[in-house]
Amino acid sequence: MKKIPVCETVLDGNELKYVEDAIKTGWISSSGNYVKDFENAFSGYCGVKHGVAVCNGTVALHLALTALNIKKGDEVIIPDFTMIACAFSVCYTGAIPVFVDAEKNSWNIDPQKIEEKITKKTKAIIAVHIFGVPCNMNVLKDIALKHNLFLIEDAAEAHGAEYFGKKVGSLSDIACFSFFANKNITTGEGGMVLTNNDELNERLRYYKNLCFPLNAGRTYLHEDIGFNYRMSNLHAALGLAQTEKIDYYVSLRREHGVIYRELLKNIAGIHFQNYDKNSNPSFWMNGIYLTKEYGKTRNELLEKLTENEIDYRLFFNGMHRQNSLKNFGCKVDEEFPISDILADNGFYLPSSSNLKEEDIMFICDIIKNFQK
């Protein structure tokens, strides 16, 4: 393992106690109180009425799209610069993901470039809060309203981030989270879908559990094709413990984001993700991209970091570069200049909740001195 990892899990609350309790009582499947408690705790934290726990963030997205009745023949607008699960979840429904380039400052989907991609088939927009920086939701909401589209949040990277004082996950028709090991809070593998809509909540619960009728008892008659996307009580036990400390973990990540930005702010050729003054990002990962003013290439800097046992991750390759999506029928032969700049020049720096301030100073010194 590298000396300073990109991300470490921090399980320093009631995790062991709750998991032990689940084991001792024998409730380890998805029937168990921790599932309900975690759903209530996390949805309550986000200020949303319903939370539906599932086994990962990818299926959270698929379940949300299914609940919205997105299907073959439809199109769903997603950012080009995002994690592959956003696109795949759309493909699972049979609908076609349509890519929109990133916005230069925020690296989120560029609202200015959305309307040109809307067709009669468009049903929804997925807004991904990349690296914990909230999208410009007011503009996205206006576009969705004007064209009668569902607005979905993929908040997998943004637990605790706020926009005009409201938590992400509460800013759309339906929102999805991941609790993978590197996210702001974790259950190892896990996810959740949030909605204020009672009918959507019922559809989520129905499709998540193999379309067993919700209120009819076990008839073993199924009217629709459903999925087993249930979260286990063991994972939910972790999730409840993590949610109890979420404000603390998010505040740590926020502090680290501020320190990185402060220490690297006067270095030519280093660019951080910007954000709206009315938002309070959670800085899940602190990414930068280099331009030639830095004087060294990305590869040269990454080698320097490796020499010093500092871990990093490259940015996503845009969706238009994915052969899987091209073969699926997605339109990839357009220009996505910002997404390309990010993919070719960007990477993120260590960003764990438990990162030490002295580590950030060490990392920033190396970046600073290497430029000279």
Ligand X SMILES: *Cc1c(COP(=O)(O)O)cnc(C)c1O
- Nearest by Cα to 73 from 332, 326, 334, 329: 329
Q: Give min distance, CB of 254 to ligand X, in A.
A: 18
Contacts of ligand X in 119-138 (CB under 6 A): 128
Q: Should residue 180 be labelled a site residue for ligand X when binding is judged by CB under 6 A? A: yes
d(CA 120, CA 62): 22
Rg (CA), the chain: 21
Q: Should residue 281 be labelled a site residue for ligand X when binding is judged by CB under 6 A? A: no
Q: Give min distance, CB of 358 to ligand X, in A.
A: 28
Read off the tokens for 174.
Answer: 């339906």
Q: Should residue 70 be labelled a site residue for ligand X when binding is judged by CB under 6 A? A: no
Identify whether the C-beta of residue 226 lies closer than 8 Å to the C-beta of residue 210.
yes
Q: Should residue 85 be labelled a site residue for ligand X when binding is judged by CB under 6 A? A: yes
Q: Applying CB under 6 A, which part among 20-28, 38-46, 82-90, 221-229 lies near ligand X?
A: 82-90
Q: Should residue 191 be labelled a site residue for ligand X when binding is judged by CB under 6 A? A: yes
Q: Give min distance, CB of 85 to ligand X, in A.
A: 4
Phi, psi of 108 (to 5 degrees): -85, 175
Q: Should residue 339 be labelled a site residue for ligand X when binding is judged by CB under 6 A? A: no
Q: Applying CB under 6 A, which part among 149-157, 228-236, 291-299, 337-345 lies near ligand X?
A: 149-157
Q: Give min distance, CB of 316 to ligand X, in A.
A: 9
Question: Which CB sits closer to ligand X, 85 or 290?
Answer: 85
Q: Give min distance, CB of 311 to ligand X, in A.
A: 18
Question: Which CB sits closer to ligand X, 149 or 156?
Answer: 156
Q: Applying CB under 6 A, which part among 37-45, 54-62, 97-105, 251-259 lies near ligand X?
A: 54-62
Q: Give min distance, CB of 323 to ligand X, in A.
A: 20
Question: Which CB sits closer to ligand X, 52 or 156?
Answer: 156
Q: Which residue has the tokens 């993700």?
A: 273
d(CA 18, CA 50): 23
Q: Should residue 86 be labelled a site residue for ligand X when binding is judged by CB under 6 A? A: yes
Q: Should residue 58 be labelled a site residue for ligand X when binding is judged by CB under 6 A? A: yes
Q: How many CB atoms lie within 10 A of CB 211?
A: 15
Out of 65, 126, 152, 156, name the contact with ligand X by CB under 6 A.
156
* Binding-site ranges for ligand X (CB under 6 A): 56-58, 82-83, 85-86, 128, 154, 156-157, 178, 180, 191
